[in-house]
Structure 1
């Protein structure tokens, strides 16, 4: 498959949808072929010289959604095209960008601490891993032919997965011979390796057990310190054998995909803001009919790049009755909640198998179907109604096809909208407030957070009723460093 030059309008749209960190990653990756320091100008330059470069950099930062939306290419088609073209991004730069995507904030702090003697000008200046790499290159501490410093540093801070990536790169002989990589900045002679000091011995890893041994460091300024043990759930997938099995693995920089369908119009901006802050890719839809909603749900469930996310969240806001949502179709039976959930079961959406799927539904019950309150108790495992309701609960609890689902359904009478026109849902506002607290997200899993939500909702006694069903098999912490 080939693509032609992209229009300026499309380039502008692509640039506007890139996050700040993604822009930095693209500029870093292309620094050997351009002097541009503005992503918009860089994309224009790529468009003029080698348009496949746009595909390559979007793939590098894992923005497959933009490839599909603007270039009409699937992930597989993009990778096939890149294989047939001369790559513009060196293996060395690709490696460092990949590491940057997996590195957490606490890891970076530890990394900076290790290297403070070599880069005394770091001080309190806010650094990213890629800007730090540039400083290391300026001082001839690393290069494509010499990555020992990074390799040993990652070993020391317990990021063996990143150390192994560097080791594989070195084994393949990627010394950039004959490639376009050039360290453009004139630098002083390299510091001999025996002058590069580390305040810690490398970590011993034997039989899956790690031991960090603090020793007297070479510099009298720094005192010995016991580095933290990085939670296993934050490591790359290849280390999950060592992970704490009672947590879903979550990588903060690829946290999840969030779909919001709002047919009321009071809460969308608030929801988009919080989930973007949590590093979710957000797709929002407003004022859709039932057939449109079904097409949207099917489209999202079929997305190939769902595989790259660790969490899926769906927020639905609509009028409805006890078992269905009407969306914008007032005169219809509605779309049943069971059918909505079934779009994302294991059989219907294999790309999310084994990953937590969270649904938050604000359902405003129309006048012909008032909310029946139960005195304020949280229904932790499903509805207590008889017949079909109990059968649905047994199905969710016992069918592996429906594992890893978290289903939070809030009902409120439609008159809540009439009484407080334009005001946010108490349920969604409370959820947003709870998720906005980083300390709470770090120490409370989603079930504990929902218990707090339930406590707040029922303490106000204002016509909201919350139902929780879930088939989560592990604890889920929605924590973005």
Structure 2
């Protein structure tokens, strides 16, 4: 985030310092930076100049400082962003406590930018027992709340811990994780129970933009990885209720050394029966991972399989069938769900239509599967794609999403989240080229570790 942008957002008042830093101090600062750090500083100041030299860096810094009402704050924020706390202490004689306050200020500004109005209202509700109603009503942004919390004279670690808890409670696990990492960097924080269970969450935007998936996920490169050291690595069940791509998925996961079970043309009751039998499958006890792939027509909340007059299999029911409570053999193991659904308008689902092999299908339109079903348990990777049912009328149709997924899984050793970003890029490109054949993705995960299927 640009340091100039920081100045457009309220900063905690007692951290402000108005006198401009002298030119020799700015020169000393620039001379103490490496060339990469100077480039970063120029970028943080909002300059797009490709020329990089100490003289040019000094000029950019001077312009940023002179244009601000709080010039010293600009310099301090830049040093925090550059992680040059040694210079912050040296040039400003900042003690450890003030350095930590500066770093927390940057964190809070970044959090404020990512919180929606709805998030803010939920945050206010949670703090109703701590802050007076009038103060909460006057708070127009997240930073207003932070100022009020600072006035309560709580220790920095207490305030940040409170903020992390509130972020978790309002469902912003991505931001809570960011705070958790920040606290970990300071060596002041023990991992809470929820952090042991739910380390990273992906939040998806389902708006109809040119990008079908928007993934927000804290960098988890420091995490350990799941050990897939059994042979086979795990169990993969594939349920293909439209007669497309099931066999290709089978080949893909067999190549990844999974034990694969392929079911075709199942009714809803048969799907449920097959999944219940799988819950008791002894192979799950020794498996390192579990994969469930389903290809089916569907409504916003249900998979219809081949049934014409059935409400369908609820997506949440599907996920819950393999939680630790319902399937203890998978406790602590990664559970992956890849779902391709073909959207059937709800007013046509269960209205005497027959979904069987080779039959011509008719559709009036498409219903977006927009309701978010957030997996609440750990070790779940949930990837759900939907497109128009009318695409099944195309001779030789294959799901572009599944094609991209299978291609990504065959590319080599990469974390599953990174592989899925490649899938998203491929689907985005497809949507640009084919505006009448749009695919939409819903990705969420609660993986506690990196996951490599190769």
TM-score class normalised by the smaller sequence: 0.3 to 0.5
Name the structure, 1 or 2, with higher relative contact order (CA <8 Å, separation 6+): 2
Q: TM-score, normalised by structure 2?
A: 0.44
Q: TM-score, normalised by structure 1?
A: 0.42
